[in-house]
């Protein structure tokens, strides 16, 4: 039980990866603060399943004021050990779309995927300073490392920003015991992947992955729980690639 008694805020905790991470953290004894956007029933069910005093907190991260309010509610429950910036969206927009649509998609994607994490990070750092340290784990993407597809440029850019934020926080605040790392998954076995395979066939997704399999939710949960162990301090600044060698660097 490496995380026993530690409180960890997980954003987008009711999503597929968020719930896998939350379960893995709770299995290590953590008290998870289950952030959700709209699905209160799913959040309540997850918190009940997790136990260890898990609580739910709602916030629509598309609202620029929401991340700071979310942190304030989380902090009001007691000292926080770690923040997992997991919430994210992937939207499509083409260079041929009208400028107003283009702007709207870019703005929303950057707000939810990057600015919300930036604002939560700001509030978390101030809290962690008072606590003598803390952890931030960002769920980025291979898309932010190698570039992304023409119809989803904002997604890759937002994840590249999250990776750079990870490194800057690690280098700037590591000396204060505030450690930051990121996980960058390629394809993950989620509903989105299943739909892609149903539409394009398994080969379209798997042919670029030498191990011929997508990352499982269990793998991601395990890795997040491992990266947040108090003993893992030198991972500070690391971007952990979880892509079966479909992208190496």
State the Cα–Cα distance between residues 142 and 66, nearest whole angstrom. Answer: 27
- Report in angstroms the alpha-carbon separations of 35 from 18, 59, 78, 202: 9, 7, 16, 33
Q: Which of 36, 81, 155, 247 is catalytic?
A: 155
List of E strands, the chain:
7-10, 31-36, 55-58, 82-85, 134-139, 178-185, 239-242
Query: Using CA atoms, how far apart are residues 137 and 188, in angstroms rounded to an integer?
Result: 18
> Which region holds residue 234: left if phi is over 0, alpha if psi is between -120 and 50, else beta?
alpha
The three-state secondary structure class of 189 is coil
224 binds ligand NAD (CB under 6 A): no
User: Which range, of 14-22, 173-181, 196-204, 229-237, touches ligand NAD by CB under 6 A?
Assistant: 14-22
We find the least distance from the C-beta atom of residue 18 to ligand NAD, in angstroms, to be 5
- CA distance linking residue 56 with residue 68, whole number of Å: 16
Smaller CB separation from ligand NAD, 121 or 141: 141
- Least distance (Å) between residue 188 CB and ligand NAD: 4
- Contact call for residue 188 and ligand NAD (CB under 6 A): yes
Question: What binding mask, one character per residue, do residues 35-64 give for ligand NAD by CB under 6 A, x or -?
Answer: -xx----------------------xxx--
Among residues 3, 80, 87, 170, which is the contact residue for ligand NAD, using CB under 6 A?
87
Angle between helices 116-131 and 66-75 (to 10 degrees): 30
Closer of 28 and 109 to ligand NAD (Cβ): 109
Q: Which is nearer to ligand NAD, 37 or 154 (CB)?
A: 37
Q: Whole-angstrom Cα distance, residue 80 to residue 127?
A: 8
Residue nearest ligand NAD by beta-carbon distance: 15
Q: What is the distance between the alpha carbons of residues 114 and 155, in angstroms, rounded to a whole number?
A: 10
- Regarding 173 and contact with ligand NAD (CB under 6 A), the answer is no
247 is catalytic: no
Alpha-carbon distances, residue 155 vs 11, 113, 212 (angstroms):
17, 8, 24
Subset of residues 132 to 151 that bind ligand NAD, contact rule: CB under 6 A: 139, 141
Which residue's CB is nearer to ligand NAD, number 52 or number 142? 142
Which residues are marked as active site?
A: 155
Given the rule CB under 6 A, which residues bind ligand NAD?
12, 14-18, 36-37, 60-62, 86-89, 112, 139, 141, 185, 187-188, 190, 192-193
């Amino acid at each position: 039980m490496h995380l026993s008694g530690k409180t960890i805020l997980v954003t987008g905790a009711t999503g597929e990866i968020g719930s896998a991470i939350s379960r893995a953290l709770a299995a290590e004894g953590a008290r998870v603060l289950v952030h959700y956007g709209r699905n209160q029933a799913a959040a309540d069910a997850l918190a009940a399943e997790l136990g260890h005093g898990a609580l739910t907190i709602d916030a629509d991260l598309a609202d620029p004021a929401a991340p700071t309010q979310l942190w304030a509610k989380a902090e009001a429950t007691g000292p926080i050990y770690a923040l997992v910036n997991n919430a994210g969206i992937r939207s499509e927009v083409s260079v041929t779309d009208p400028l107003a649509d283009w702007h709207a998609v870019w703005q929303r994607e950057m707000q939810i995927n990057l600015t919300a994490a930036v604002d939560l990070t700001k509030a978390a750092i101030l809290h962690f300073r008072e606590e003598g340290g803390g952890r931030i784990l960002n769920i980025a993407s291979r898309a932010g490392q190698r570039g992304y597809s023409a119809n989803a440029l904002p997604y890759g850019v937002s994840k590249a920003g999250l990776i750079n934020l990870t490194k800057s926080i690690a280098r700037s605040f590591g000396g204060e015991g505030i450690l930051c790392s990121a996980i960058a998954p390629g394809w993950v076995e989620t509903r989105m992947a299943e739909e892609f395979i149903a539409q394009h066939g398994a080969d379209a997704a798997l042919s670029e992955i030498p191990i011929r399999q997508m990352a499982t939710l269990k793998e991601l949960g395990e890795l997040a729980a491992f990266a947040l162990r108090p003993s893992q301090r030198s991972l500070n600044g690391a971007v952990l690639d979880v892509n079966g060698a479909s992208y190496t660097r």
